[in-house]
Amino acid sequence: MADADHVANACRAALACRAASRILGVDGNGPRLRTRIGLHTGMAMVGNVGSNDRMQYTAMGAMVNLASRVEGLNKAFGTELLVTQAVVDAVGAQFVFRPFGPVLVAGATVPLAVFEMREDSGGLALWMQAHNAWLARDWPRAEEAFSRYAQQHPHDLAAPLFLATVRSFGMDSPPPDWDGVLRFTSK
């Protein structure tokens, strides 16, 4: 059955999965289960694939591969739930997103904008200040804002990643044609 709100429902399901994973292991009976989810939307082939001996229900296509690559970026950013611009465009203001800007995932040739989907907007204003300075190539202002963000959110791993890049740009500025893209070579 077709679901007219499938992207928003996928976002809700991803948030519910993350919330459930945070509960597991809390009672001391096991380690905390960390999830990594990547969401993208687009056309894909979905259905039974295989032979009479071995059949499985699966999804295939470039969109599925891209979602997998976005999921892998969670390692680099220290996040659990990343989405693409296509998801943000489809759901509008129904959810809270923290932008990371354009990235080039391993195996891709075209950069795409990725965002962390969050439960709340805590710290988002300061992140936006830092990220806007990043995009404007205002390295001193970006360094100051990312530093403050990192101090206020010591467990956040994305801020130190951006901060290290900003500091390297402060010492050796990128070329004038720098496109703002973070490039990742592994999944």
Provide the percentage of residues in the chain whose pLDDT is more than 70: 94
How many angstroms separate the CA atoms of 147 and 141, rounded? 10
The count of C-alpha atoms lying within 13 angstroms of the C-alpha of 136, restricted to the half-sphere facing its C-beta, is 11
Query: In the structure, what pLDDT confidence band is assigned to residue 187 with cuts at 50, 70 and 90?
Result: low
Per-residue model confidence (pLDDT) at position 74: 93
Per-residue model confidence (pLDDT) at position 57: 82
Q: Are strands 45-50 and 55-60 parallel, antiparallel or unpaired?
A: antiparallel
Contact 116, 81 (CB under 8 A): yes
Tens of pLDDT, residues 72-109: 899 999 999 999 999 999 998 999 999 998 998 877 78
Q: Which residues of 156-176 are buried (b: 16+ CB within 10 A; e: fewer)?
A: bebbebbbebbeebeeeeeee
Per-residue model confidence (pLDDT) at position 113: 94
Query: In the structure, what pLDDT confidence band is assigned to residue 179 with cuts at 50, 70 and 90?
Result: confident
With vertex at residue 98, the alpha carbon angle to CA 8 and CA 40, rounded to the nearest 5 degrees, is 40
How many angstroms separate the CA atoms of 160 and 54, rounded? 46
Average predicted confidence (pLDDT) for the chain: 88
Q: What is the mean pLDDT of residues 58-80?
A: 86
Statement: residue 33 has pLDDT above 80 = no
What is the pTM (predicted TM-score) of this model? 0.87
How many angstroms separate the CA atoms of 107 and 72, rounded? 12
Query: Which amino acid appears at position 174 of this protein?
Result: P
Q: What is the mean pLDDT of residues 52-62?
A: 81
Tens of pLDDT, residues 6-31: 899 999 999 999 888 877 766 656 66
With vertex at residue 87, the alpha carbon angle to CA 84 and CA 89, rounded to the nearest 5 degrees, is 110
Tens of pLDDT, residues 112-138: 999 999 999 989 999 999 999 998 989
